[in-house]
Amino acid sequence: MAEALGLSGPRREGASVSEQDLTPEQREARDWAREFARRSVVPRALILDKDPESPERDAMVLEAAKAGIFGLALPEPMGGMGLDPVGSMLVTEELAAACAGCAVLFGASALGFSPILASFDMSLFDRFVRPIVESWSTEEPKHAALAATEPDMGSDFIQGHPQAHPRTRVTKRDGSYLINGTKVFISNGSLASMVTVFGSLDPSGPIRDNMICLAVPTDTAGFSVGQIFDKMGQRASPAAELVFDDVEVPEANRIGLDGGGWQINRLVMMLSRPAVGAIALGIARAAYEKAIEYAEARIQGGKAIVGHQAVQLMLADMAIRVEAARHLVHDASRSMARGQPDLKLSSMAKTFASDAAVANSIDAIQILGGYGYMHEYGVEKLLRDAKLTQIYEGTNQINRFEIMESVIASRA
């Protein structure tokens, strides 16, 4: 029954509007990712959830890097797979359906690169991105990370409030910048060989004119990794505290212009929120699939519980959430493919899909009953993983504010 609905295994032609709109290349990428996830991610998901430092993580990273997972959206001349935004989201969904933490582990480097790619500065690309990309074909693949969140500053500066400056201070010197501050909850921060960091040049001025973004190799003097946080979910990807103590980098490491960091951050949010939506979509779909498979097998009152109306109502809501989230994620991805990323649409995709992931995970646990609550069945993990999608890349509350700012502006 799950396969007939197009939500378990390879989806049937015409199973949904989204399916009909996919190109052969996009379907091929999705099916390839599904097979990689089945082979390399699924057997390790619960292992890494229990022990994120397990040697299995390094083995999986090596397999993913060599397979091309790390460079999904990078153009082929830059060493990537050259997938379009829709194809990239399809792959991300498949990886997240197997393990959301692993999807973040694989995708954090692309997030770290994103300010450099958004700047279209090939000199920065050659110095900081290319060496990492080239390492993916070796036995020691490297990582990148994006450092924005701070101990008392998360989503605040995203909206550009005048007093909401990053506490990380960047002091300009002759030909260089000096960085002081602390970043927290940085995905893959403890693994990265290069981080792109946002800081403030002048906290007394407007945030929109005083943020700066810099590329910082992690072997630079004064840089250190502090605490590795013990996360509730998405545990396969480490979240680290990064400390900048008089870290000096040359002016050539600046991404964009002095004071241009806020605009870069906005663009990064437009591009990264659909990816969070795709991760959440993968979780929501996995919860639905596990629930319906169990409901078909579990016999109560002489028939499978999928035949009980109370269960059918829950499963119907779960299916609706998956399909609606998929459309929003794909629509946001297509706006990126057109070269017109839409912040409102990206925020809608991220917000709706993450709420759907949490709701579906809760319903899946309810349908599985006691089994859903047990670690070994992997369903309670979905809820722990899903919750984080409502928090990072701007909390859902911040996303809703930004959606309404766009709505109000369009009606002015």
Question: How do residues 141-171 score in pLDDT, each as one tens digit?
Answer: 999 999 999 998 765 566 556 556 788 999 9
Q: What are the tens digits of pLDDT across the range 179-189? A: 999 999 999 99
Q: What share of the chain is helix, strand, coil (3-state, %, to 5)?
A: 60, 15, 25
In the predicted structure, residue 7 carries a pLDDT above the cut 60: no
Confidence of residue 6 (pLDDT cuts 50, 70, 90): very low
Angle at 11 between CA 20 and CA 96, to 5 degrees: 105
Tens of pLDDT, residue by residue over 241-260, are: 999 999 999 999 999 999 99
Confidence of residue 3 (pLDDT cuts 50, 70, 90): very low
Q: Is the pLDDT of residue 9 over 70?
A: no
pLDDT at 242: 98
What is the mean predicted confidence (pLDDT) over 293-298? 96
State mean pLDDT over 336-343.
Answer: 91
Which pLDDT score is estimated for 153? 75
Q: Can you give the pLDDT at residue 77?
A: 87
8 Å CB contact between 280 and 352: no
Give the pLDDT confidence score for residue 319 in this predicted structure: 98
Predicted pLDDT at 164: 67
Which residues lie below 8 Å from residue 343, measured CB to CB, with a gap of 6+?
A: 266, 269, 270, 402, 406
In order of their start, the domains of the chain are 17-135 (1.10.540.10), 143-260 (2.40.110.10), 263-411 (1.20.140.10)
Best CA proximity match to 63, nearest among 73, 55, 74: 55
Mean of the per-residue pLDDT values for the chain?
91
pTM score: 0.93
Residue 5 has pLDDT above 90, yes or no: no
pLDDT at site 158: 60
Rounded average pLDDT over 339-367: 96
The stretch 24-43 carries a mean pLDDT of 96
pLDDT of 162 reads 55
Residue-level pLDDT at 14: 36
**Highest-confidence segment of 12-16, 200-204, 396-400:** 396-400
**pLDDT category of residue 1 using cuts at 50, 70 and 90:** very low
pLDDT, position 335: 94
pLDDT for 233 equals 98
> Per residue in 50-108, pLDDT tens?
999 999 999 999 999 999 999 988 888 888 889 999 999 999 999 999 999 999 999 99
Whole-number Å distance between alpha carbons of 361 and 378? 11
The proportion of the chain whose per-residue pLDDT surpasses 90, expressed as a percent, equals: 82
pLDDT one-digit tens code per residue, 296-311: 999 998 999 999 999 9
Average pLDDT, integer, range 119-129: 95
Bridge partners for 194 per DSSP: 144, 217
- Contact by Cβ (8 Å): 182, 150: yes
Per-residue confidence (pLDDT) for residue 161, from 0 to 100: 60
Cβ atoms of 358 and 393 closer than 8 Å: no
pLDDT at 163 (0 to 100): 58
Q: Which residue numbers are catalytic?
A: 393
| Residue 316 pLDDT class (50, 70, 90 cuts) | very high
Per-residue exposure over 261-283, b if at least 16 CB sit within 10 Å of its own CB, e if not: bbbbbbbbbbbbbbbbbbbbbbb
Reported as a single tens digit per residue, the pLDDT across 371-399 is: 999 999 999 999 999 999 999 999 999 99
Of residues 196, 188, 187, the one with CA closest to residue 125: 196
